[in-house]
């Protein structure tokens, strides 16, 4: 199949595509007629390379499209796969199969990294939405996947070279590899940490780095990001109290994504603040600190109302933010509850640029309601 490169002149935000669009591996990303929703989504796609074939037979396109899984299933598979990849590193009675699994550890983490990059390349809005809405897996399992996705998008926005982004994603997937059970315990418990928990927490960056190195990881940037992911630019982090230029940019991005995700993930004893509220709080907290530049990059990438935020509209409907727009204060949303309080059979798209559909406030549900992620993001057939 002869392919032609896609340039900025070929695609426009908000305009239906004239052709099916493929990545550089000839995998279908968008069918003919699909719409790219934001400038940021377009910029990221063009960075990774897009291709088209004007003569592509529609049946071939449909056949290829049907083989592309939706991003939500792919993220859930990644969440399930990561513990299987890591488990051999903790085997108490290793055998030949375990040794082979350990030998393949780096390759498999890199493969998972490629999968997450591909997911964001295909639909970054859905990836952000999943981080905010998909809390079905235990916190300790979903945390590394979602923080990796969020870190990836912030890094791309900050124009960090792709090879360094790959090291960052691998680090996000493995930074807490030695404290997975402790993460789950801390997430569920009320009250402060015990002395033992505090010690384990302080030691885990070095512990994770040492385990990864022992398990065959040779990428020094990956290892250093893991070692530094709790350091702070003001020197108040741990374990080495690094500051300023001694803290890697990639480690600071992972630290920010980690803090953000910890805040938006709902705990059993309380309702989590909305993504909008967390972003606002981080902006105020970091306004006059060295971290401000990273928070600004996150806001520009995710928007003021990131995908997955639940909002009340001026017309009294309740909606979910699904796509960012060129104006990050006015995203595209889909209404799920009518102005009479009844759920819609199917989500209804609303453009918040319109006065009638403008976002009035954040919506805090009194009771949980079921969200059809596939329907919201247009993957339901």
Residue 62 banded pLDDT, cuts 50, 70, 90: very low
In a domain, 152, yes or no: yes
Task: DSSP for 279-313, please give it.
Answer: HHHHHHHHTTSTTHHHHHHHHHHH-SS-TT-EEEE
- Give the rounded percent of residues in the chain with a pLDDT score beyond 70: 87
In a domain, 46, yes or no: yes
Residue 65 banded pLDDT, cuts 50, 70, 90: very low
Position 67 pLDDT exceeds 60: no
In a domain, 98, yes or no: yes
Position 318 pLDDT exceeds 90: yes
Q: In the prediction, which pLDDT does 366 show?
A: 63
Stronger pLDDT, 42 or 378, i.e. the higher one: 378
Lowest pLDDT segment from 45-54, 154-163, 298-307:
45-54
Stronger pLDDT, 290 or 144, i.e. the higher one: 144
One domain, residues 218 and 172: yes
Strands (E), the chain: 4-5, 21-22, 28-30, 51-52, 310-313, 318-323, 332-337, 343-351, 359-362
Residue 59 banded pLDDT, cuts 50, 70, 90: very low
**What secondary structure, in 3-state letters, does 95-133 show?**
CHHHHHHHHCHHHHHHHHHHHHHHHHHHHHHHHHHHHHH
Q: In the prediction, which pLDDT does 64 show?
A: 44
Residue 94: how many other CB atoms lie within 10 Å: 13
One domain, residues 92 and 165: yes
Mean of pLDDT values over 78-92: 93
Lowest pLDDT segment from 22-26, 235-239, 294-298, 309-313:
22-26
CA atoms within 13 A on the CB side of 23: 18
Q: In the prediction, which pLDDT does 63 show?
A: 43
Q: At what angle do helices 220-228 and 195-214 cross, to 10 degrees?
A: 180
Rounded distance between C-alpha atoms, residue 373 and residue 378, angstroms:
8
In a domain, 365, yes or no: yes
Domain boundary among 302, 330, 360: 302
Domain that holds residue 56: 4-66
H or E element at residue 211: helix 195-214
Q: Both tokens of residue 165?
A: 């982004």
One domain, residues 204 and 315: no
Classify residue 274 by its DSSP letter. Answer: P
In a domain, 105, yes or no: yes
Lowest pLDDT segment from 132-141, 154-163, 322-331:
322-331
Domain boundary among 24, 46, 66: 66
One domain, residues 171 and 89: yes
Rounded distance between C-alpha atoms, residue 143 and residue 241, angstroms:
24
Mean of pLDDT values over 41-49: 71
Position 48 pLDDT exceeds 70: no
One domain, residues 289 and 317: no
Rounded distance between C-alpha atoms, residue 137 and residue 77, angstroms:
11
In a domain, 381, yes or no: no
Q: In the prediction, which pLDDT does 58 show?
A: 47
- Give the rounded percent of residues in the chain with a pLDDT score beyond 90: 64
Rounded distance between C-alpha atoms, residue 169 and residue 175, angstroms:
10
Query: Each residue of 331-376: pLDDT tens digit?
Result: 999 999 999 999 999 999 998 989 999 999 999 876 667 789 999 9
One domain, residues 279 and 315: no
Classify residue 347 by its DSSP letter. Answer: E
One domain, residues 228 and 368: no
One domain, residues 253 and 291: yes
Position 330 pLDDT exceeds 80: yes
One domain, residues 78 and 189: yes
One domain, residues 8 and 140: no
One domain, residues 289 and 320: no
Residue 108: how many other CB atoms lie within 10 Å: 16
- How many domains, in total, are found in the chain? 3
One domain, residues 33 and 161: no
Domain boundary among 239, 273, 302: 302
Q: In the prediction, which pLDDT does 57 show?
A: 46
Q: In the prediction, which pLDDT does 168 show?
A: 98
Position 89 pLDDT exceeds 90: yes
pTM of the model: 0.84
């Amino acid at each position: 199949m002869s392919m032609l490169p896609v340039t900025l002149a070929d695609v426009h935000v908000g305009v239906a595509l004239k052709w099916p669009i493929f990545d550089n591996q000839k995998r279908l990303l968008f069918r003919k007629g699909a719409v790219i929703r934001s400038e940021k989504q377009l910029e990221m796609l063009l960075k990774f390379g897009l291709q088209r074939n004007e003569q592509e037979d529609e049946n071939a396109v449909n056949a290829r499209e049907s083989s592309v899984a939706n991003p939500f299933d792919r993220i859930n598979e990644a969440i399930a796969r990561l513990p299987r990849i890591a488990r051999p590193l903790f085997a108490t009675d290793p055998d030949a199969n375990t040794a082979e699994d350990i030998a393949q550890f780096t390759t498999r983490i890199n493969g998972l990294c490629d999968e997450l990059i591909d997911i964001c390349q295909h639909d970054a809005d859905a990836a952000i939405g999943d981080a905010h809405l998909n809390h079905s897996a235990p916190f300790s399992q979903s945390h590394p996947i979602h923080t990796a996705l969020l870190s990836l998008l912030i890094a791309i926005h900050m124009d960090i070279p792709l090879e360094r982004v790959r090291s960052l994603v691998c680090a996000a997937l493995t930074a807490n590899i030695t404290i997975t059970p402790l993460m789950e315990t801390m997430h569920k418990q009320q009250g402060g940490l015990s002395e033992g928990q505090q010690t384990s927490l302080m030691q885990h960056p070095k512990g994770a780095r040492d385990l990864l190195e022992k398990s065959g990881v040779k990428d020094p940037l990956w290892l250093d990001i893991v070692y530094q992911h709790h350091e702070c630019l003001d020197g108040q982090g741990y374990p080495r109290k690094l500051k300023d230029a001694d803290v890697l940019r990639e480690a600071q991005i992972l630290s920010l994504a980690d803090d953000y995700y910890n805040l938006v993930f709902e705990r059993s004893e309380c309702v989590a603040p909305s993504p909008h509220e967390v972003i606002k709080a981080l902006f105020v907290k970091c306004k006059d600190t060295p971290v401000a530049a990273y928070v600004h990059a996150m806001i520009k990438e995710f928007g003021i109302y990131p995908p997955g935020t639940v909002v009340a509209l001026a017309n009294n409907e309740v909606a979910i933010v699904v796509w960012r727009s060129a104006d990050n204060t006015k995203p595209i949303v889909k209404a799920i509850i009518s102005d009479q309080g009844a759920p819609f059979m199917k989500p209804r798209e609303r453009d918040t640029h319109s006065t009638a559909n403008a976002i009035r406030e954040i919506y805090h549900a009194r009771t949980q309601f079921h969200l059809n992620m596939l329907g919201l993001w247009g993957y339901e057939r």
